[in-house]
Chain A
């Protein structure tokens, strides 16, 4: 249980550290070149992980056709996320960037739930508004 909690926190920390490392590389080599290296190393390691996982590569190959084509577009969005993050990361504090991204995720999630599933989670709206209020308060302190 404790290990699971530490791992979950480490997952969050790894996002921020990777973002910052990529943006330093982007300042030296360019936004797109840094994105290229991100995918070069990431793809290589993901192949290793797949080979050592319990998932079968041949089975994956046969399943590829069963996935709707639009589901593959996530990989392209990832490229946009890495490239834009390379641009933004050096410009604003790591903390505000993390929280603003989170707020964007939260409200997009709420809007998607509402229009796709007709669901409106009051808890998520109230919680999200509290996050925004706290964020604006701290941004105001930094002025």
Chain B
């Protein structure tokens, strides 16, 4: 079920990148990033109003828990820089490498709310196949 939802997220992201790409071609990278966040912000506010959900700040929560949105803007900035210097496919492949390494570390140590999934040497075979797939995709 959750794996299926993950695949669905991937479908949404592809369509989203396509649409946001059109926007950034017309408006520029940073103007489009602002517009995209503004539209998202307005829609989540509307959803909260319709569902009558009240928002409150909890003082007992560590501040870094509110930093997810800030990181998202840095993702856009980093992708823009890399895209200009390295091109699209290398940016995509290196980004995926970054996601994989970061995910494996979070899983292995159980950081940021993850259940501990120890890294096992047998998984290197699967990782090698995955990496070769990404290389094939990047080259063609």
CA distance A71 to B100 in the complex (A): 30
CA distance A80 to B2 in the complex (A): 15
Do A25 and B61 form a contact, CB below 8 Å, given A9-B95, A12-B94, A32-B53?
Answer: yes
Return chain A residues, CB-CB under 8 Å to B35.
60, 64, 72, 75
Residues 65-106 of B at the A interface (beta carbon under 8 Å): 65-79, 81-82, 85-86, 90-91, 94-104, 106
Q: Does B41 contact A39, Cβ atoms closer than 8 Å?
A: yes
Q: What is the count of residue pairs linking A and B with beta-carbon distances less than 8 angstroms?
A: 379
Return chain A residues, CB-CB under 8 Å to B8.
84, 104
Q: Does B14 contact A94, Cβ atoms closer than 8 Å?
A: no
Size of the B side of the interface (Cβ < 8 Å), in residues, is 105
User: Closest CB-CB distance, B38 to chain A, in whole Å?
Assistant: 6
Do A127 and B136 form a contact, CB below 8 Å, given A36-B48, A93-B115, A100-B3?
Answer: yes
Q: Does B11 contact A130, Cβ atoms closer than 8 Å?
A: no
Q: Does B133 contact A127, Cβ atoms closer than 8 Å?
A: yes
- State the main secondary structure of chain B at its contact with A: helix
Return chain A residues, CB-CB under 8 Å to B127.
134, 138
Q: Does B65 contact A13, Cβ atoms closer than 8 Å?
A: no
Instruction: Report B33-56 CB contacts with A as 1/0, cut-off 8 Å.
Output: 111111111011101100101010
Q: Does B34 contact A11, Cβ atoms closer than 8 Å?
A: no
Do A63 and B140 form a contact, CB below 8 Å, given A1-B85, A8-B94, A13-B102?
Answer: no
CA distance A103 to B17 in the complex (A): 15
Q: Does A17 contact B112, Cβ atoms closer than 8 Å?
A: yes
Residues 99-113 of A at the B interface (beta carbon under 8 Å): 99-109, 112
List, sorted by A's number, 26 A–B pairs whose CB atoms are closer than 8 Å: A9-B98, A11-B82, A12-B100, A13-B102, A16-B103, A24-B112, A38-B72, A39-B40, A39-B41, A41-B70, A42-B68, A42-B69, A42-B73, A49-B30, A70-B19, A71-B23, A81-B9, A92-B3, A99-B100, A101-B9, A104-B6, A104-B11, A105-B10, A127-B136, A131-B134, A137-B125
Q: Which residues of B contact A (CB under 8 A)?
A: 2-3, 5-20, 22-23, 26-31, 33-41, 43-45, 47-48, 51, 53, 55, 58, 61, 64-79, 81-82, 85-86, 90-91, 94-104, 106-107, 111-115, 117, 120, 122-123, 125-140
Closest 10 CB pairs of A and B: A123-B140, A104-B10, A12-B98, A130-B133, A75-B39, A42-B69, A127-B137, A134-B129, A74-B19, A138-B126
